Amino acid sequence: MSGSHSHSSTPIKREEGERGGQADVPGSLVDAFASRLRGRLIRPGEADYEPARELWNGMIDRRPALVARCAGDEDVVAAVDFARDNEMLVAVRGGGHGVAGQAVCDGGLVIDLSGMRGVEVDPEGRRAVAQGGCTLGDVDRETQRHGLATPLGVVTQTGVAGLTLSGGIGWLRRKHGLSCDNLLSARVVTADGRLLVADGSQNQDLFWAIRGGGGNFGVVTSFEYRLHPLGPEVFLCFVFYPAAATKEVLRACEHYLSQRPDDFAPIGILGKVPEAEPFPPEAHGKSFAALLAPYPGDPADGERLLRPLREIADPICDLSGTMPYTEVQAILDEDYPDGWRYYWKSVNVPELGDELIERLAEHAAAAPSPQTTIDVWYQGGAMARVGEEETAFANRDAPYLLGIEANWEAEADSAENMAWVRDTFADLSSFSTGGLYLNFPGFLEEGEQLLREGYGTNYERLSAVKAKYDPTNLFHLNANIRPKS
């Protein structure tokens, strides 16, 4: 770092009620911090500052005072120490894909793990260690070389850190559980600057809490996952039906799952047909009900077993087929481009009744953006067989999760799209017995009420663990659990 910064100070913004008011950190301290890093410290005005503050969700526009682009665990320790000692606002960035946009802050320090993307695979032991900046694509690419996979999400650019810490719902949820259910150990830098290993025998309370409790307890620098035989090729059911068949489609899928083992985990998607190949021109812009479900076993078995889901009604388009698992993982990527605007909420429901399905179809048809969808995640299976208090992830017994996803391009359309999500959420919540998925939390604007729903009966225990590992709430830019006083 050039010495030209040393006589100035860095203005630091502190979040009201959390870490003091406005203050300056002397340039000499900033320079000393920069010299301690193996990675680099990025400051406003430097060439890579703008890309360093950008997130996937284009709605988020914040200007941190400093971005510490960490190169390893010791850099993370240094960054946590610096933030704590200077009472700085802290954001932690893994993949930068969290829809609530909390991976960057105004006026504070971003602890940026995006350069830490190493993956080590032990094919004999069926384990993989992924650094905290890894994306799903990074992990799948390495594990699939050995015909192995761990349950992750459904968009390859998603960071494994945010995904896993808040549960991790993906294609393998019914067969192998959630991402957090397959976590064997983690390395965590806590608020006091210690680097701890959390697993079944060390720091067990911390290990319990990070499996569903989000980024509340420290910065996770690496995750060790259990792997399962899978691929390299799988059969994918991906079929679009006209909206008139919505009830039939969702019901048929529900009935089909009740007759079958937990091998596959469909998502029902309600949206509007894109004006693109391979969809027939006469269907463009019309509402659809799609089923998307990979079969994680032999592709020939998958083609045979999933055939009933492709014959529920006369389809608009059937994109099903055998393909590499890495392609299945990327099948939705182009629907979520970098820099678009995203605002998502979620709600658990106990059943798919006629009235609920009608409302789902009505709301999906009324969405202001043609890229918006309502997603019906069929849950159960392995994820529901883990006890409610075995990990911090709550509401496991909910058979359906409804994802309300507004995706749009222009800033001018933001108010209309957010209003649609909020109206839809309020209506669908009347069908819920409680609970939601904290990776789809809107902007967490409901505060503690939302958190108590998301963390369920585990909230009080999480609050006690928070008090032990982060008593001053240094890590509060997340689905924040206040430390028990």
Question: What is the pLDDT, as a whole number, of residue 485?
Answer: 85
> Model confidence at 9, in pLDDT bands (50, 70, 90)?
low
Helices within 238-308 (DSSP H only): 246-258, 299-306
Looking at per-residue confidence, does 19 or 405 come out higher? 405
CA–CA distance, 35 with 27 (Å, rounded to integer): 12
pLDDT in tens, 225-248: 999 999 999 999 999 999 999 999
Question: What is the pLDDT, as a whole number, of residue 8?
Answer: 53
CA–CA distance, 215 with 76 (Å, rounded to integer): 14
| pLDDT over 60 at 21, yes or no | no
| pLDDT over 90 at 170, yes or no | yes
Q: How far is the CA of 49 from the CAs of 43, 138, 340, 475, in angstroms? A: 6, 24, 20, 23
Q: Any residues with CB less than 8 A from the CB of 430 and at least 6 apart, and which?
A: none
pLDDT above 70 covers what percent of the chain? Answer: 95
Over range 76-86, report the average pLDDT: 98
> Do 286 and 272 meet the contact criterion of CB atoms below 8 Å apart?
yes
> Model confidence at 6, in pLDDT bands (50, 70, 90)?
very low
> Do 280 and 317 meet the contact criterion of CB atoms below 8 Å apart?
yes
Question: Left, alpha or beta for 81 (phi > 0: left; psi -120 to 50: alpha)?
Answer: alpha
CA–CA distance, 448 with 316 (Å, rounded to integer): 43
CA–CA distance, 58 with 67 (Å, rounded to integer): 19
> Model confidence at 11, in pLDDT bands (50, 70, 90)?
low
> Do 133 and 114 meet the contact criterion of CB atoms below 8 Å apart?
yes
Question: What is the pLDDT, as a whole number, of residue 19?
Answer: 45
pLDDT in tens, 413-462: 999 999 999 999 999 999 999 999 999 999 999 999 999 999 999 999 99
> Do 112 and 93 meet the contact criterion of CB atoms below 8 Å apart?
yes
Question: What is the pLDDT, as a whole number, of residue 1?
Answer: 36
Over range 162-176, report the average pLDDT: 98
| pLDDT over 80 at 20, yes or no | no
Question: Left, alpha or beta for 314 (phi > 0: left; psi -120 to 50: alpha)?
Answer: beta
Looking at residue 46, what DSSP letter applies?
Answer: S
> Do 92 and 477 meet the contact criterion of CB atoms below 8 Å apart?
yes
Domains of the chain plus CATH, in order, are: 10-112 (3.30.43.10), 119-229+454-469 (3.30.465.10), 233-447 (3.40.462.20)
Closest CA to 173 of 25, 377, 1, 23: 377
Question: What is the pLDDT, as a whole number, of residue 257?
Answer: 95
> Model confidence at 13, in pLDDT bands (50, 70, 90)?
low
Taking the whole predicted model, whether its pTM rises above 0.75 is answered as yes
Question: What is the pLDDT, as a whole number, of residue 154?
Answer: 97
> Model confidence at 261, in pLDDT bands (50, 70, 90)?
confident
pLDDT in tens, 360-415: 999 999 999 999 999 999 999 999 999 999 999 999 999 999 999 999 999 999 99
Looking at residue 430, what DSSP letter applies?
Answer: T
| pLDDT over 80 at 475, yes or no | yes
| pLDDT over 70 at 274, yes or no | yes
Buried b (16+ CB within 10 A) or exposed e, 295-332: bbbebeebbebbeebeebeebbbeebeebebbebbbbb
Taken in order 57, 143, 165, 250, the sign of the CA dihedral is positive
Taken in order 116, 200, 198, 210, the sign of the CA dihedral is positive
Structure tokens at 32: 């000393």
> Model confidence at 10, in pLDDT bands (50, 70, 90)?
low
pLDDT above 90 covers what percent of the chain? Answer: 94
| pLDDT over 90 at 12, yes or no | no
pLDDT in tens, 113-161: 999 999 999 999 999 999 999 999 999 999 999 999 999 999 999 999 9
Q: How many CA atoms lie within 13 A of 409 on its CB side?
A: 4
Question: What is the pLDDT, as a whole number, of residue 15?
Answer: 47
> Model confidence at 253, in pLDDT bands (50, 70, 90)?
very high
